[in-house]
Amino acid sequence: MNPLTTRFLNHVASLLRSNNMELEISEGRKYIKVISARGEVSKSAWCFIDKRSGDIFKAANWRAPAKHARGNVNTPESYQGYSWTGPYYLR
């Protein structure tokens, strides 16, 4: 995994820990799914990361990212303002 992706995941983990949640990841062919979990029964897709480009996508649902990138792991300024709830909606 790219060191900048690991840095982003550490940032997300700290956001989730502030709300007593844990970080889980699931790697697919194209995306890394970032999952926020509270125990074994409460899990949700937090975001998706494109493995090739490093683009960060808000989760449209459990299985798919939303259409437009909300940041990039290669540009920390693009995700520093995220809250524990996930990437921002587009305005």
pLDDT digit string (tens) for the chain, length 91 residues: 889 999 999 999 999 999 999 999 999 999 999 999 998 889 999 999 999 999 999 999 999 999 999 999 999 888 888 888 888 766 5
DSSP state of 87: S
Nearest CA to 32 out of 61, 1, 75 is that of 1
Which pLDDT score, from 0 to 100, does residue 91 have?
Answer: 59
Which of 1, 44, 39 lies closest to 20, judged by CA? 39
What does the pLDDT read at residue 47? 94
